[in-house]
Amino acid sequence: MSCHSGAAFTNNQIIPVNEIGTEPSRAKALRRQAEIFSKTRMYAPQTPVPIPKEHEIIGVHFNNRTEQDLKLAYEHGDSPGVFKVKGLIGLQWSAPYLHDGGVAVGPNIYKDLGIPGTLSKGVVPDPYNSLLALIDRNLRQKVLDANRIPELKDVHVTGEGHEFWVDEEAGFTIEEQDALVNYLLSLQIEQKNN
């Protein structure tokens, strides 16, 4: 739970695409931005507004971790690209899942598989069944197989990655899968009473 922790069930960190194993094209989308980036600068704090013609500009300095994260996030140097850890609040409204939106299962888990079996046919992805495909490797494989069509290859939608299985092969029961999916669908931001 280190990735999906805190009030919104995210640590707000970025993870290299090769660690999470998802389809990498979206993680590499910022690669050419390195060509236009420059050192971060700002007006000195005492600069009045409107800005006078003679003014001081100072550099913005980051700690080492922040500098590394910026290079990683914006794909400077040898960054493989990254994904930000998504919060888990609102999963009942956000199917299909993963950054490419490729983990989609409709109401019928035997025929409403992947994008071709759901959105391409006007079938709304079912949050419960789509989350089940996120944690069950056998159902996920059916989604991956369904997504292997030329139209989805062109737009880099596969549904691959984030292989944190909660299935029989990993030692979990169907009841435990059901409990996890229902728990994930029930998550809300905790309201504080003043």
pLDDT in tens, 15-58: 888 887 877 777 677 677 777 777 788 999 999 999 999 999 99
| pLDDT (average), residues 124-131 | 98
Predicted confidence at residue 5, as pLDDT, reads 81
DSSP string, the chain: --SS-TTTT----EEEHHHHT--STTTTTTGGGGGT----EEE-TT--SSPPSS--EEE----HHHHHHHHHHTT-TT---EEEPPP-TTGGGS-SBSTT--B-B-S-TTT-BHHHHTGGGTPPPPHHHHHHHHH-HHHHHHHHHHT-SHHHHHTT----------SGGGT--HHHHHHHHHHHHH--PPPPP-
pLDDT in tens, 79-105: 777 878 888 899 999 999 998 999 999
pLDDT above 60 for 77 = yes
| pLDDT (average), residues 150-154 | 92
Domain ranges of the chain: 31-73, 88-186
Predicted confidence at residue 136, as pLDDT, reads 98
Predicted confidence at residue 192, as pLDDT, reads 73
